[in-house]
Structure 1
Amino acid sequence: MTMVTGYTKKLAILPFDHRASYISGLFDWKEPLNVEQVLKVAESKQIIYEGFKKARIPKEEAGILVDEQYGVGILRDARQQGTITAVSVEKSGQKEFDFAYGDDFAQHIEAMQPTFAKVLVRYNPEGDRTLNQRQIQRLKRLSDYLHQTQRLFLFELLVPAEVHQLELVDQNKDAYDSQLRPRLMGEAIEELQQAGVKPDVWKIEGLDKRTDCEHIVEVAHHNGDHNVGFIVLGRGANQKRVLHWLQTAASVPGFIGFAVGRTSFWNAIVDFEAKRLSPDDAATLIARNFEEWNSSFEAGRQSGMEPNETSAARSHADKITRKENRG
């Protein structure tokens, strides 16, 4: 029997499932944390969740991505509210994908009952073949389980540069992103799908060209997975860059939304922890950023053209530029 995969509805996701990088970057701590530190991390994530709830985005489109470790209460509350939820399944801060809870991954997914189970995977098709095969075996196991239990699969694909690839572009990471990464992303998606790894939604790094966005969708849909959706991640980039990625992707059929995390919440949480912002003010700032991404994506989506051809997208980008200049 052919497995039907895919998700085609609009998705506006606020991701705050960061763990190792969150703890080290915001608090300068390392795991394992003591009880007081765990509560402090959970408190900060609660503020991000409050920001999500403040954002004026239609409920049927808006979702959160958070980890069970520090966000279990948030996941339970969101589920009770009927909010779209995604829970991270991978170990944090690892170069090689593995399950956060080992062979017990299924029990943890069932306990959280998320809309999506999410993995973050670093996969370069020109990288270590043995490593890639180990990752594929684990991912196929997860993919099979999720489809057998009729749960949705959200796959965050990162394609970090190999040494020899950076040499081709004189160590210029921006050149790698624009010249090499789009092709490698397509090859990675094709390899994973052919190995039986079948996400319903791909969460991918932003692409600068509309033609690259079209190519990625074409690759993913080639094997009959015509309903598979794509969302754009923020990668901690500045607002202007994130807006460009969102508007470029939004007009391409197959791109259904975004998941922008650090650019949404990082500065607000830093200022809250430094007591420069109250919890409510921090949440309001996060909500405003989240709404900004949604407005930008909608402007690009409704235009059906590239960002520089649309007055709506152009005026929106100009507004952000003015705001950045003031700030």
Structure 2
Amino acid sequence: MPSQDQQTLDLLAIGRSSVDLYGQQVGGRLEDMASFAKYVGGSPTNTAVGGARLGLRTGLLTRVGADHMGRFIAEQLTREGVDTNGVITDPARLTALVILGIRDRENFPLIFYRENCADMALVPEDVDLELVARARSVLINGTHLSQPGVRAASLKAAHAVREAGGRVVFDIDYRPVLWGLTGRDAGENRFVAAQAVTDSLQEVLPLCDLIIGTEEEVHILGGSTDTIACLRAIREKTDALLVAKRGPMGCVAFPGAIPDSLGDGVGARGFPVEVYNVLGAGDAFMAGFLRGWLRDLPLEQCCELGNACGAIVVSRHGCAPAMPTWTELQHFLADEDRPFRLREDKDLEHVHWATTRQGTYPELTVLAVDHRSQFEDLAAELGVDIGLVPAFKNLALSALDRVAGGDPRFGVLLDGRFGFDALARAGDFPYWIGRPIEEPKSRPLAFESSADVATELAEWPLNHVVKCLVFYHPDDPADLRERQERQVLRLFDACRKTRHELLLEVIVPSGMSVDSDTVARAVQRFYDLGVRPDWWKLEPVEDAAAWGRISQVVGQNDPLCRGIVLLGLSAPEEELVASFQVAASFPQVKGFAVGRTIFHDVARQWLTRSIDDEQAVTALAGKLTRLVTAWRNAREQGMPT
């Protein structure tokens, strides 16, 4: 497979790259918003992300600060599959910020924090001609024509890609405040007539192959408020394909002469949906249109893809994170019975969630040390200070790292009570991190948090997967079953709203009857309720029929589920290995999350000072290694060739 440095890019976007801080309270003034969600932002950055999600090979040329926000942008772009060879770290400037809000259906206040920011410091010397030569097209935008340095950089890239046989895409991207034409508190203002801006923008028109803008942006580019007259003025200076975005009316494209009416241009069906947030919709349109245009699809189909992407994004919170994936877009286009309030389409929202999750896990082997009551019991039995336990959990993390060596197929389960320090440290590693939310041993299920579980999760880092253990049997008494199900539904809803993945662990209570269908029925029941966990954590069994039923239920209800991991139940190592032999032949079982089988005896020895820290780490690493080896051997033997 070619390296990132060698791959041809469909699109190299140039310009704005910022962190968007989106107000989470909707329907009020920006002054009254109390909390903000953090996303990558900036028009060309959004388009690069949107294009990558739609299957285009995209890259970005920009600057970010040598700061936490700059690292966030670079890391997120990598996770999205955007080529970052052109993302330059600027040690002298901070990453740009934008604070945004949703006031009502027509007002979306925003403040640009762009004083001497990194992305506006691009200069021609930053343009890597080898990078540009790898691109089939370059996207430039109006904001980066507003200052001499960034303008020269944009024009250099545009000339270079044309000389290499590529194409130039121009997003008019007019923000009057960034040209100094409005007060800084009027960032949402989309149009102020200014002949100097018109003249500046028109200078790039001969370089362009595709020009896209809203009607207001067409007005600034054309120099009047008559859309047809503006399009004709633009046409006099370029043969480029012109596309005018018209909001809920879709778009209209003009490959040649401009007719007397907008309706006589080339268009496609629109998608009437309730507008929740217009910010980012134009960038989504651009990504969708380019998905077709760069693949040489018919113009009508390019318009339809752009219209559909824009409709999806206006229904959501945020810009870049709202961009649809190709799988999601196909689902949307195939569904003629979609609701007007699109964000209430649970199937579409699930496809979006599941196809934008970060990371892939063909295998996951987890050291589970999230136990709380078990450590309390052990400390009481041994008569030792419970305050020693956090240090042991840090040793467990060290053992995991010794075995994994940076392999992201490994993970750790840690709690926030005794494992807080280890959780904080785990964030510096590339491993999967899970964290329990349930009150230990609770039945009916109770949460170890505030009365509102979403309030608790809002304080968790986004890379913490929420683990919830529920002692559940599908034949539980109705009142108990319904009470537990309500709790799981609350938790699932909270996880989606706080953007946390959910691992649902189901254990059949001891003493209750179990057959080959019991766990599958429990899993099906949760799906029937509308709960779609990202992961399942299930008991190890040596019954192939049971695994067959479980796999069938998961596959039929959620083919996008990440998979199943086996729990240990403190079983002896040889019993776990035997269960691996059966489970490993089912592709949906990705590995294990085992704890006491690995740590219990070691913890006992360490807490009584029978062994030291290094001996504890070595012992834990050895036990984990044996289980990982056993799982991989079982997988290799059990999977069909």
TM over 0.5: yes
Aligned counterparts of 1:202 and 1:224: Cα–Cα separation in 2? 12
Give the Å deviation of 1:105: 2.9
Q: 2:602 aligns with which of 246, 250, 268?
A: 268
1:181 and 1:285, CA in 2 relative to 1: closer, same or farther beyond 3 A? farther
1:275 and 1:146, CA in 2 relative to 1: closer, same or farther beyond 3 A? same
Q: 1:48 aligns with which of 379, 396, 400?
A: 396
The letter of the residue matching 2:637 is S
Secondary structure of the structure 2 residue equivalent to 1:103: coil
TM-score, reference length from structure 1: 0.81
1:102 aligns with 2:455: no
Structure-1 residue corresponding to 2:499: 150
Q: 1:243 aligns with which of 565, 577, 582?
A: 577
Give the Å deviation of 1:242: 0.7
Structure-1 residue corresponding to 2:480: 131
Structure-2 residue corresponding to 1:194: 528
1:265 and 1:297, CA in 2 relative to 1: closer, same or farther beyond 3 A? same
Structure-2 residue corresponding to 1:12: 365
Structure-2 residue corresponding to 1:28: 381
Offset from partner CA, 1:156-181 (integer Å, 9 cap, x none): 11012455x3xxxxxxxxxxxxxx34
Q: 2:616 aligns with which of 282, 285, 292?
A: 282
Q: 2:561 aligns with which of 217, 227, 230?
A: 227
Structure-1 residue corresponding to 2:433: 85
Q: Which moved more, 1:124-133 or 1:210-219?
A: 210-219
Give the Å deviation of 1:228: 4.1
Aligned counterparts of 2:440 and 2:510: Cα–Cα separation in 1? 20
Aligned counterparts of 1:273 and 1:197: Cα–Cα separation in 2? 40
1:104 and 1:76, CA in 2 relative to 1: closer, same or farther beyond 3 A? farther
Aligned counterparts of 2:637 and 2:458: Cα–Cα separation in 1? 40
Give the Å deviation of 1:215: 1.6
Aligned counterparts of 2:603 and 2:546: Cα–Cα separation in 1? 34
Q: Which moved more, 1:11-20 or 1:139-148?
A: 139-148
The letter of the residue matching 1:76 is A
More helix by share: 1
Secondary structure of the structure 1 residue equivalent to 2:557: coil
1:140 and 1:239, CA in 2 relative to 1: closer, same or farther beyond 3 A? same
Structure 2: any 5+ residue segments left out of the alignment?
1-344, 355-359
The letter of the residue matching 2:387 is L
Q: Which moved more, 1:296-305 or 1:184-193?
A: 296-305
Aligned counterparts of 1:267 and 1:291: Cα–Cα separation in 2? 16
Aligned counterparts of 1:224 and 1:211: Cα–Cα separation in 2? 20
Structure-1 residue corresponding to 2:325: none
The letter of the residue matching 1:101 is S
Q: Percent identity?
A: 24
Structure-2 residue corresponding to 1:141: 490
1:9 and 1:277, CA in 2 relative to 1: closer, same or farther beyond 3 A? same
Structure-1 residue corresponding to 2:414: 66
Aligned counterparts of 2:606 and 2:437: Cα–Cα separation in 1? 28
Between 1 and 2, higher relative CO (CA 8 Å, sep ≥ 6) is seen in 1
1:189 and 1:79, CA in 2 relative to 1: closer, same or farther beyond 3 A? same
How many residue pairs get aligned? The number is 286
Aligned counterparts of 2:520 and 2:388: Cα–Cα separation in 1? 40
Secondary structure of the structure 1 residue equivalent to 2:427: helix
Structure-2 residue corresponding to 1:205: 539
Q: Which has the larger radius of gyration?
A: 2
The letter of the residue matching 2:394 is Q
Secondary structure of the structure 2 residue equivalent to 1:111: coil
| Matched ranges for 1:152-191 at <5 A | 152-162=501-511, 165=513, 180-191=514-525
TM-score, reference length from structure 2: 0.42
Offset from partner CA, 1:232-276 (integer Å, 9 cap, x none): 111101010011112221121101110110011111111112222
Q: Which moved more, 1:126-135 or 1:296-305?
A: 296-305
Aligned counterparts of 1:127 and 1:57: Cα–Cα separation in 2? 44
Offset from partner CA, 1:59-104 (integer Å, 9 cap, x none): 2111111110111111111113233111100011222211100334
| Conserved 8 A contact 2:504-2:535 | yes
Give the Å deviation of 1:108: 3.3
Secondary structure of the structure 2 residue equivalent to 1:280: helix
1:298 aligns with 2:632: yes
Give the Å deviation of 1:292: 1.2
1:184 and 1:197, CA in 2 relative to 1: closer, same or farther beyond 3 A? same
Structure-1 residue corresponding to 2:108: none
Secondary structure of the structure 2 residue equivalent to 1:70: coil
Q: Which moved more, 1:3-12 or 1:218-227?
A: 3-12
| Conserved 8 A contact 1:155-1:202 | yes
| Conserved 8 A contact 2:470-2:506 | yes
1:76 and 1:100, CA in 2 relative to 1: closer, same or farther beyond 3 A? same
Alignment RMSD, CA only?
2.2
Structure 1: any 5+ residue segments left out of the alignment?
31-35, 166-179, 307-327
| Conserved 8 A contact 1:56-1:291 | no
The letter of the residue matching 1:10 is E
More strand by share: 2
Secondary structure of the structure 2 residue equivalent to 1:116: strand
Structure-1 residue corresponding to 2:156: none
